[in-house]
C-alpha cells in the first residue's frame, strides 16, 4: 500500500563548519507532509528555513538523517543516488521570491524547458504548458517575453513552470515577500488550489503571519527542531 506522505524526514541534522566554527542549524527534525497539503514553514531569520527546504529539495546535503520523497528513500546518512538533479527535475517544483524566468526565452519556452529536458516531445510539452497558462489566466501571454509582463504575471508563469514537470512536491521560498497583501493572498490561495487540484505537497517558507490562516498546517523551526503549531483563525484582512 502506497503512503500518502509526499515528504518524510527522520532525525534530520544539518551542521555547517567544524570544530570551534561549528554551527548547528537543524538538529533532529522529524515530520511528514501529505499530498494535497499546503504547509507553512516559519522561523526567525537565520534559523534554517531555506536550508531545510534545500535539503528536502536534494540541493543541500544534510549532515545526517533520512529523507523520503513519496515512497522513495533518497537520503539515509548519505545520498542513495547520484542522480539528485534527476530527482529535482522529475519530482520537485521550485518557486522563489523572484520569478527567475530566463529573460531571452518567451513564457511558453520557460514553462516547457524542464519537460523537454526530461524528454517530453516539444508538441506535447507546449500543449501541457498552454493548459497550465490557461489555468493561471495568462495563456494570451504565452509568446511574450518576460520583460513585457507585469510582476504578478511573471510570478504566475513561474508557478506554471514549477508545475510543468508534474512534481509531487512544490517548494516555495518566500513567494509573497515582494508582493502587497492582496497579491500575497492570491498567490497563497493559488498554492492551496494547486495542492488540492494536483494532489501535491506544497511547503511555503514565509515570514508573513497574515498568510498562515490560509495554510493547512504550520511547521516552525524552534531550538533547531521542527515543531507543529496550530493554524490561526482567519482575519478580516484575509
- Asked whether residue 76 is domain-assigned, the answer is no
- Asked whether residue 71 is domain-assigned, the answer is no
CA–CA gap between residue 101 and residue 90 (Å, rounded): 19
- Asked whether residue 13 is domain-assigned, the answer is no
Q: What is the CATH number of the domain that holds 225?
A: 3.40.50.300
CA distances from 50 to 26, 57, 97, 185, 198 (A): 11, 10, 12, 21, 24
- Asked whether residue 79 is domain-assigned, the answer is no
Please, where are the H alpha helices in the chain?
49-56, 84-91, 107-117, 122-135, 151-163, 181-198
All three cell numbers of 141: 501571454
Q: Which domain holds residue 39?
A: 35-61+84-229
- Asked whether residue 66 is domain-assigned, the answer is no
CA–CA gap between residue 136 and residue 140 (Å, rounded): 11
Residues 6+ apart with CB under 8 A from 94: 57, 88, 162, 170, 171, 172, 173
SS3 per-residue string spanning 9-38: EEEEEEEECCHHHCEEEEEEEEEEEECCCE
| Whole-number pLDDT of residue 3 | 65
- Asked whether residue 8 is domain-assigned, the answer is no
Residues 6+ apart with CB under 8 A from 48: 14, 25, 26, 221, 224
| Whole-number pLDDT of residue 175 | 87
Low-confidence ranges of the chain (pLDDT < 50): 1, 236-238
The pTM is what?
Answer: 0.88
- Asked whether residue 28 is domain-assigned, the answer is no
CA–CA gap between residue 201 and residue 83 (Å, rounded): 22
Tell me how many domains the chain contains: 1
- Asked whether residue 216 is domain-assigned, the answer is yes
| Whole-number pLDDT of residue 236 | 44
| Whole-number pLDDT of residue 2 | 55
pLDDT tens digits along 86-136? 899 889 999 988 889 999 999 999 999 999 998 999 999 999 999 999 988
Amino acid at each position: 500500500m502506497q503512503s500518502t506522505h509526499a515528504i518524510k524526514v527522520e532525525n534530520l541534522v544539518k551542521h555547517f563548519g567544524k570544530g570551534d566554527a561549528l554551527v548547528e542549524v537543524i538538529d533532529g527534525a522529524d515530520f511528514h507532509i501529505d499530498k494535497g497539503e499546503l504547509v507553512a514553514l516559519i522561523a526567525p531569520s537565520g534559523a534554517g528555513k531555506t536550508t531545510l527546504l534545500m535539503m528536502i529539495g536534494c540541493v543541500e546535503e544534510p549532515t545526517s538523517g533520512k529523507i523520503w520523497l513519496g515512497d522513495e528513500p533518497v537520503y539515509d546518512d548519505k545520498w542513495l543516488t547520484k542522480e539528485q538533479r534527476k530527482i529535482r527535475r522529475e519530482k520537485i517544483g521550485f518557486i522563489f521570491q523572484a520569478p527567475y524566468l530566463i529573460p531571452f526565452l518567451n513564457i511558453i519556452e520557460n514553462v516547457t524547458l524542464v519537460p523537454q529536458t526530461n524528454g517530453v516531445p516539444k508538441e506535447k510539452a507546449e500543449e501541457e504548458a498552454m493548459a497550465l497558462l490557461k489555468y493561471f489566466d495568462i495563456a494570451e501571454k504565452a509568446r511574450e517575453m518576460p520583460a513585457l509582463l507585469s510582476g504578478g504575471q511573471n510570478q504566475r508563469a513561474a508557478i506554471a513552470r514549477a508545475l510543468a514537470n508534474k512534481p509531487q512536491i512544490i517548494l516555495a521560498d518566500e513567494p509573497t515577500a515582494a508582493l502587497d497583501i492582496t497579491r500575497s493572498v492570491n498567490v497563497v490561495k493559488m498554492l492551496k488550489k494547486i495542492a488540492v487540484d494536483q494532489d501535491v505537497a506544497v511547503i511555503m517558507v514565509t515570514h508573513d503571519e497574515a498568510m498562515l490562516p490560509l495554510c493547512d498546517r504550520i511547521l516552525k523551526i524552534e531550538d533547531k527542531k521542527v515543531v507543529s503549531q496550530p493554524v490561526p483563525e482567519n482575519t478580516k484582512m484575509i
